[in-house]
Amino acid sequence: MHIHIAEDLNDLSRKYAYWLIEHIRYTLQKKFSLPAEKQIYTWALSGGSTPQHLFQLLSKSPFKDQIPWEKLHIFWGDERLVPFHDSRNNGKMAYDLLLQHVPVISSQVHYIPTEMKPEEAAQAYEKILHRYFDEQGFSFDLVMLGMGTNGHTLSLFPHTEVIHEKEKWVKAVFVDELSMYRITLTPVIVNRASCATFLVSGKDKADMLKKVLQGPYQPDAYPAQIIRLTNNELHWFVDRDAASELTLSE
């Protein structure tokens, strides 16, 4: 596990943007000898407020010009079961702030379907993922994650069964506290990613970040702890406010 500490949200977004560009470059270099259709970079985006500034940075020069957008395939980690044009839709947020401003075409962007029944939406998205990932080996090149003040990530909320899902890659979950269905990737597929990153910002996350990173392993209480990649390539990008409760070695 790697922890990257930034001064504030703006610095956090810039640090992540530079890191992302290098990770894309490194990953595509490793795939250079593969067939052309395999020379792609698969990236699952997160929702929430923290990545919004990052998306805006990536949509403009100089960052926009350093990314080989034609090689990217975009996915999502979770989605609220609301129509695409609803302001709460993660895909719409990413489209507004990033995707409409960069040269990607529709076949590269894999939105989670939301205008069908919850279980049907989960099944449909899992079917899409199976076109790109096998049952063994790595899944995504990068999964970008966030963390809520209650320790949730994706739509893995405290004390819910989906935290310990062992088979399905995608599940429909009803979140009682929000009174709505959400579609989420499960740890089954996320923990097989080549790399995953958390972006965490704000003083209100400090206590939970301390519990998740330096407390006992209790994923039912702190679901972000369930993200444990098989190759351990997990990065936490946090600002100083969020990191203020951590015990860090000099």
Residue 245 belongs to a domain = no
Task: Region of 181 please: left (phi>0), alpha (psi -120 to 50) or beta.
Answer: beta
Residue 248 belongs to a domain = no
Residue 131 belongs to a domain = yes
Number of domains in the chain: 1
Q: How confident is the model at residue 83 (pLDDT cuts 50, 70, 90)?
A: very high
Residue 214 one-letter amino acid: Q
Q: Which two tokens stand for residue 8?
A: 């504030």
Q: Give which of 48, 55, 46, 145 is closest to 95, Cα–Cα.
A: 55
Instruction: Report pLDDT digits (tens) over 37-70.
Output: 999 999 999 999 999 999 999 999 999 999 999 9
* Mean of the per-residue pLDDT values of the chain: 96
Q: How confident is the model at residue 16 (pLDDT cuts 50, 70, 90)?
A: very high
Q: Which two tokens stand for residue 3?
A: 């922890």
Inter-helix orientation angle 9-30/50-58, to 10°: 60
Span 129-135, average pLDDT? 94
Q: Which residues are 199's β-sheet partners?
A: 146, 237
Instruction: Report pLDDT digits (tens) over 95-118.
Output: 999 999 999 999 999 999 999 999
Q: How confident is the model at residue 196 (pLDDT cuts 50, 70, 90)?
A: very high
Instruction: Report pLDDT digits (tens) over 224-242.
Output: 999 999 887 999 999 999 9
Residue 250: per-residue pLDDT? 57
Residue 250 belongs to a domain = no
Instruction: Report pLDDT digits (tens) over 152-191.
Output: 999 999 999 999 999 999 999 999 888 999 999 999 999 9
DSSP for 75-127 reads EESEEESS-TTSTT-HHHHHHHHTGGGSS--GGGB-PPP-SS-HHHHHHHHHH
Instruction: Report pLDDT digits (tens) over 19-39.
Output: 999 999 999 999 999 999 999
Cα three-residue angle 196-116-148, rounded to 5 degrees: 35
Tally Cβ neighbours within 10 Å of residue 113. Answer: 18
Domain containing 58 equals 2-31+39-239
pTM across the whole model: 0.96
Residue 102: per-residue pLDDT? 98
User: Domain with 81 in it: what CATH number?
Assistant: 3.40.50.1360
Residue 170 belongs to a domain = yes
Residue 144 belongs to a domain = yes
